[in-house]
Structure 1
Amino acid sequence: MSIHRFGLSALFVVWCSAGLSQEIKDIQTFYRSLESETHADYQRFWDGVALEDKRKIARGKAPSSSSERAEAEKGIKSLLYSVAVAKANCVEQAVNRAVGVDQRMQVMNNCLKEKTDQFLKFSKASEYAPVVPRLKSARCEMRSRDYDSELRFPPFEFLRGPDNQEPHLFDYKALLECLISDRD
């Protein structure tokens, strides 16, 4: 997957060219710069939901229910939060591990591809979630939460739910491995 799919190419080249320091404030600045892009993606999602509901109504079917919308909102917030943090973590990794714009772009692309692949594998496997015992699922989620990233990169305000409920971040590779393991 190319960096262009994540909309980072120009911004990342500027950051790499500037030779960012490894200070946390710099990666925090980068993370915060993703908020408007992430919010636009959130709005596009809901525009798509509204369009699909119009199509359903035109075909004589019922639009999305409030429970479907609530579940979709939880999912899209979690996904967008994960993507924004993945971008920040990959930029930080590229700046810390590589020298020169070309090398940093390669590290960035590899990092994003790896994180995307892990998420897609987890997504495909999550279709089998109903057969995983609830207790095991909860334990695996706790073990694979990315608490460090949650502390470093809190969700943007619009991603918080009612009562300030926040989406969680996961190491999707660890989560999948835990769920398919023989351990409880």
Structure 2
Amino acid sequence: MQAPDGGTTFRAVEEWLARHPAAPSGALIRQRLCRHRGGSWIEAVSTVLAVLHDPEGFDPAWVEAVTAPRDWEQPADETNPLDHERAAIDALGPRITTVRYTAWARIAGCPTMATLQRRTGKLWSELLTEAGGTPNASKIKNRSRAEVGEYMTRFLAEHPGGSTADYGTWSRENAAPSRSTVVDRFGSWSAAVDACRH
């Protein structure tokens, strides 16, 4: 984990690995070491250094297993992508935006959205639906002016100022249509505010 000529930050280790063609990438090491139990890079480095400096403090069989040479080309035992989705649903609820999943996956040590999509060949909304979640309604196309107006009315009741900045946050939290959809249905933001303000 510690490069002879560098430090133990992820960047330092990644740069050292890049200079050695037979070595795995930093991203692959981080995925293999940190994704389980939601560990972090710092925790992985601390564990590795502890094993190197005091191997007797650890189970010998475990030390042998983790220090054995690895075939980095061989994929690790893969968890079903839907299991990651279900874990995210358990943690965040059924309606998960890609932004919320990305933040959660980083902390939980789970694959990125792009990785899950690549493994399955499916869109995010399809994966979320199959896992029992609810796709982000803001992605639903062809919303009527009346439906968009209902969201705007709710937004204005909570945010009388009607700023687009407030709407950006509110729309993500409430699975509402995007600002561009609102403008498309009403002609302009101010026209939507005027039409839906009670």
- Please say which structure displays the higher CA radius of gyration: 2
TM-score when normalising by structure 1:
0.25
Q: Going by fraction, where is helix more abundant, 1 or 2?
A: 1
TM-score when normalising by structure 2:
0.23
